[in-house]
């Protein structure tokens, strides 16, 4: 078997399906790249062929499985399930994983959660968790198992031993303009999620200015690929396409989003975060066989918040993973960077739009996120949003409190935020929180191509 023949076969793909690759061919290419026998230039050529010609759900499932077994797979045997996880494609102020895990765990479903860090304009769950003093996200497999057994969920990062194929291939995609490929995105996401031990998955596919998928068509293509591929791998999967046209919730930043998580678990969170958390929880409980409908699952999730059980598990997890829960609670409402300024309304009327992408970029300037993986983040940087799209304002009203890593960053960030806010004389038409829900029954046989 030769790499060049596999590249030619995928390059020559047409609607007939003649370029469909076998498991042996995909395994040869991926495993060869991991062990160094396939060079960068041949893998790059194959990635570009996939970018343009796509892969079937079955091919993508094989690619995912091969990547999954390129390294260590979490062994959760001996722990009573079910195991269900949620994954978001990323956004600005998207802290849903943080309240969701303890809520679902409080309802009897185990949540093995492997998360990532901030890069670009989107925040990272691990950076938010590590804003809590002492909290450790670099768990061993034994710690991961132990914490799931005790509280029903655990939060960890990807190690070098877990899905090394994804780490290597993603780095190559990043420099070969092949990131926005639906099957490659799908395999990257699913390989990590299955490696952590999840039996069923709920995907939150973000759509809008602050998402990687800007249009509904792009988001729907990815959602269908995730559901179709996950189903082909024998997993129960559902995807929600959700709105990411403005910052989510009222707080953006690492510690700030942990604080908003605490508020949600007390039953005092902002409506959009609370509503979507409950919807995702409802579906996770359906897939975990703890509810017969999303509505029943949402009711059980709401009861887990009202009873205080979800908050109790959240604080217990903080302690288990090395954090100081009492200090965290005492800092909520108080811990802010001393470098601060306010964004005020430039004119009266209504907020017509708040470009989430630009506000996310402003967050990078402030120290919330990273331009490259080696950058440090500032746990106390971020934004508190007082006015949202559709709100009426008078000139000079405070729209946002801004907190930076130092005084120098405030000017550049403020200028970006000001330009991201648009005004109108009349209130804009409202948008739904959830655009679509996609399950396996909604899928027709198809190939998935690039996301562009």
Q: pLDDT (tens digit, 9 = 90+) per residue, 161-217? A: 888 998 899 889 878 888 888 999 999 989 988 888 889 999 999 999 988 889 999
**Which residues in the chain land under pLDDT 50?**
15-17, 442-447, 452
**Contact (CB, 8 A) for 154 and 148:** yes
Distance CA(115)–CA(351), nearest Å, equals: 33
Distance of CA 153 to the CA centre of its chain: 17
> What CATH number is given for 84-329 in this structure?
3.40.1030.10
Structure tokens at 283: 């579906």
- Is 3-54's fold the same as 84-329's? no
**Nearest of 276, 247, 264, 287 to residue 389 by alpha carbon:** 247
Looking at the structure, give the CATH architecture of the domain made up of residues 3-54. Answer: Up-down Bundle (1.20)
Whether 87 contacts 198, CB under 8 Å: no
pTM over the 0.85 mark: yes
Strand partners, 395: none
Active site residues: 87, 166, 173, 188, 192
Q: What is the Cα–Cα distance from 230 to 200, expressed in whole angstroms?
A: 9
Name the residue among 25, 91, 288, 67 with its Cα closest to residue 189. Answer: 67
Which residues partner with 249 through β-bridges? none
Domain boundaries, the chain: 3-54, 84-329, 339-424
Burial of residue 384 (CB within 10 Å: 0-12, 13-18, 19+) is buried
For domain 339-424, which architecture applies? Answer: Alpha-Beta Complex (3.90)
Alpha carbons 410 and 70: distance in angstroms, whole number = 44
Query: Hey, what's the torsion of the CAs at 9, 13, 19, 25, to 10 degrees?
Result: 50
């Amino acid at each position: 078997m030769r790499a060049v023949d596999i590249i030619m076969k995928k390059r020559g793909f047409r609607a007939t399906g003649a370029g469909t690759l076998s498991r042996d061919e995909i395994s040869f290419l991926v495993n060869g790249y991991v062990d160094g026998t396939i060079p960068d230039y041949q893998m790059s050529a194959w990635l570009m062929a996939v970018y343009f010609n796509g892969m079937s759900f079955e091919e993508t499932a094989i690619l995912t499985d091969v990547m999954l077994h390129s390294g260590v797979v979490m062994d959760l045997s001996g722990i009573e399930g079910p195991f269900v996880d949620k994954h978001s494609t990323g956004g600005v102020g998207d802290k849903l994983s943080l309240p969701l895990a303890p809520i679902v765990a409080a309802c009897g479903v185990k949540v093995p959660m492997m998360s990532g860090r901030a890069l670009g304009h989107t925040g990272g769950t691990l950076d938010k968790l590590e804003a809590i003093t002492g909290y450790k996200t670099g768990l061993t497999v034994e710690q991961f198992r132990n914490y799931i057994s005790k509280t029903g969920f655990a939060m960890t990062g990807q190690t070098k031993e877990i899905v090394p194929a994804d780490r290597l291939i993603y780095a190559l995609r990043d420099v070969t303009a092949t990131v926005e490929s639906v099957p490659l995105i799908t395999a990257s996401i699913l390989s990590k999620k299955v490696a952590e031990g999840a039996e069923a998955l709920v995907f939150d596919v973000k759509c809008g200015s602050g998402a990687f998928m800007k249009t509904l068509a792009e988001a729907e293509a990815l959602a269908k690929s995730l559901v179709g591929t996950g189903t082909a791998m024998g997993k129960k999967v559902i995807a929600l396409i959700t709105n990411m046209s403005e910052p989510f919730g009222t707080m953006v930043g690492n510690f700030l989003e942990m604080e908003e998580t605490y508020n949600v678990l007390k039953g005092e969170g902002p409506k959009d975060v609370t509503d979507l958390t409950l919807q995702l929880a409802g579906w996770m409980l359906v897939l975990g066989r703890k509810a017969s409908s999303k509505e029943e699952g949402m009711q059980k999730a709401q009861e887990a918040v009202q009873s205080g059980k979800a908050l109790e598990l959240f604080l217990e997890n903080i302690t288990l993973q090395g954090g100081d829960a009492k200090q965290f609670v005492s800092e909520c409402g108080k811990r802010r960077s001393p470098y601060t300024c306010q964004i005020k309304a430039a004119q009266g009327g209504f907020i017509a739009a708040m470009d989430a992408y630009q506000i996310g970029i402003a967050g990078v300037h402030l120290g919330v996120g990273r331009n490259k993986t080696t950058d440090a983040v500032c746990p106390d940087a971020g934004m508190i949003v007082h006015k949202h799209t559709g709100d009426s304002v008078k000139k000079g009203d405070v729209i946002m409190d801004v907190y930076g890593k130092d005084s120098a960053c405030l000017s550049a960030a403020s200028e970006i935020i000001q330009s991201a806010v648009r005004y109108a004389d009349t209130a804009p038409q409202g948008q739904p929180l959830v655009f679509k829900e996609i399950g396996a029954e909604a899928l027709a046989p198809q190939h998935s191509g690039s996301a562009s």
